[in-house]
């Protein structure tokens, strides 16, 4: 925090700060407020805690910092501190309670059509892990992803009662004991599969990184949906269309997992790629469904900002790798532009 509190280097790159236009939403301002708390100059007030939850943890500031500091790290630590001190905002406590009581942070019930589709799948040593956002917020996309894999001849199964990966709780309260409990329970359910293909980049991130940091062993290979599709399509004959696709790189894939090429390999196989100016590791967040629960207007502005980036380069079809970003881009889509999930783009050319 001390290193960040008077530095302006990443101010221009924060998607939340750009959307709100408020200085409080920059890494510098957050560091300044938290450093005052650490020095006991001010109380850990409701306003400062709310500010901690106005960060998307997207890592744009971390990527931009040439000195290697990590505002995401101290933001997550501040969230953990709020949880341990019993100072979680009501909107966060509601989601924490929901995941512990219902198995997902949205407190939502399974989609009947998706459940029926899952029941019809055979057993396999490859597990397709859908994740909470897809199951409860974009079940239509999840069903289309299953249909595509079946059409490609993939051998996989999906759990009807899929455990929570712990991503949501890690996002909200960090490395709390309750988060580790979810990690443990999920790992025990998934261990024994040969490989786990993660539809949501967020789940791939926690399986590869947070589980390791918490000392939780996994005995399965972890693949992202994008890289799995790239492998599946490598020897398939597909129609190369005249469509021009603009990738919306997931910040988690591009920065946390350093994966940017598979989506381009796929889109070049089925059409042509036209890039936004902010692409690959420089990508800009297009939305977060957890934050949409308590900051819907800001998430709408974040998505609209990304549409502005797309329009500025003449993009016509934006292709996403994240169910959260798909949902928010679809909800804000300007006239004359289109957004496709990766599976939808591929389906157009099979």
Whether the CA torsion 108, 114, 119, 125 is positive or negative: it is: negative
CA 107 – CA 100 distance, rounded (Å): 9
- Spacing of C-alpha 182 from chain mean position: 18
Task: Return the CATH number of 236-347, one of 1.20.272, 3.30.70, 3.30.160, 3.40.50.
Answer: 3.40.50
Contacts of 323 (CB under 8 A, 6+ apart): 131, 133, 134, 137, 138, 141, 142, 199, 200, 289, 341
Q: Which of 47, 220, 206, 201 is nearest to 126 (CA)?
A: 220
Taking residue 269's Cβ as centre, other Cβ atoms within 10 Å add up to: 17
Instruction: Provide the residue-wise pLDDT of the chain in tens; the chain has 350 residues.
Output: 888 888 888 889 999 999 999 999 999 999 999 999 999 998 889 999 999 999 999 999 999 998 888 999 999 999 999 999 999 999 999 999 999 999 999 999 999 999 999 999 999 999 999 999 999 999 999 999 999 999 999 999 999 999 999 999 999 999 999 999 999 999 999 999 999 999 999 999 999 999 999 999 999 999 999 999 999 998 888 889 999 999 999 999 999 999 999 999 999 999 999 999 999 999 999 999 999 999 999 999 999 999 999 999 999 999 999 999 999 999 999 999 999 999 999 999 88
pLDDT per residue over 228-241, tens digit each? Answer: 999 999 888 888 99
Running DSSP on this structure, what letter comes out for residue 206? I
Q: Residue 153 has which token pair?
A: 């001849």
Question: pTM here?
Answer: 0.96
Q: Residue 182 has which token pair?
A: 């979810």
User: Phi and psi for 92 in degrees, rounded to 5?
Assistant: -80, -45
For 4-102, list the strands marked E by DSSP.
none
Running DSSP on this structure, what letter comes out for residue 295? -
- CATH number 3.30.1490 given to 112-230: no
Q: How far are the Cα atoms of 97, 208, 256 from residue 197, in angstroms, in the given order?
A: 28, 12, 17
| Edge-to-edge order in the sheet of strand 272-273 | 272-273, 244-248, 317-320, 338-341
The predicted pLDDT at position 170 comes to 97
How do the domains of the chain map onto residue ranges?
A: 11-87, 112-230, 236-347
Burial 320-344 (b: 16+ CB within 10 A, else e): bbbbbbbbbbbebeeeeeebbbbbb
Running DSSP on this structure, what letter comes out for residue 204? H
């Amino acid at each position: 925090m001390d290193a960040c509190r008077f530095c302006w280097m990443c101010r221009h790159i924060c998607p939340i700060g750009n959307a709100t236009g408020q200085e409080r939403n920059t890494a510098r301002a957050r560091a300044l407020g938290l450093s005052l708390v650490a020095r006991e100059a001010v109380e850990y007030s409701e306003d400062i805690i709310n500010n901690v939850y106005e960060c998307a943890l997207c890592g744009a500031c971390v990527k931009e910092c040439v000195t290697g500091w990590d505002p995401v790290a101290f933001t997550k630590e501040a969230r953990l501190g709020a949880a341990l001190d019993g100072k979680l905002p009501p909107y966060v406590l509601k989601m924490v309670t929901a995941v512990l009581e219902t198995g997902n942070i949205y407190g939502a019930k399974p989609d009947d059509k998706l459940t029926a589709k899952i029941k019809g799948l055979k057993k396999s040593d490859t597990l397709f892990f859908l994740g909470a956002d897809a199951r409860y917020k974009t079940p239509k996309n999840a069903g289309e992803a299953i249909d595509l894999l079946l059409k490609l001849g993939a051998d996989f199964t999906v759990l009807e009662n899929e455990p929570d990966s712990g991503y949501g709780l890690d996002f909200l309260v960090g490395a709390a004991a309750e988060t580790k409990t979810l990690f443990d329970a999920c790992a025990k359910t998934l261990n024994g599969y040969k490989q786990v293909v993660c539809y949501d980049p967020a789940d791939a991130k926690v399986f590869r990184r947070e589980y390791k940091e918490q000392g939780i062993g996994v005995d399965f290979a972890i693949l992202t949906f994008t890289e799995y599709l790239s492998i599946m399509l490598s020897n398939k004959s597909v129609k190369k269309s005249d469509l021009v696709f603009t990738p919306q790189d997931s910040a988690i894939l591009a920065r946390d997992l350093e994966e940017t090429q598979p989506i381009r390999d796929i889109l070049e196989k089925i059409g042509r790629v036209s890039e936004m100016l902010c692409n690959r590791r420089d990508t800009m967040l297009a939305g977060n469904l957890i934050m949409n629960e308590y900051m819907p207007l800001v998430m709408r502005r974040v998505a609209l900002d990304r549409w502005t980036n797309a329009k500025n380069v003449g993009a016509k079809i934006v292709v996403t790798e994240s169910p959260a970003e798909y949902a928010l881009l679809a909800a804000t889509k300007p006239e004359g532009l289109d957004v496709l999930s990766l599976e939808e783009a591929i389906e157009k050319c099979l």
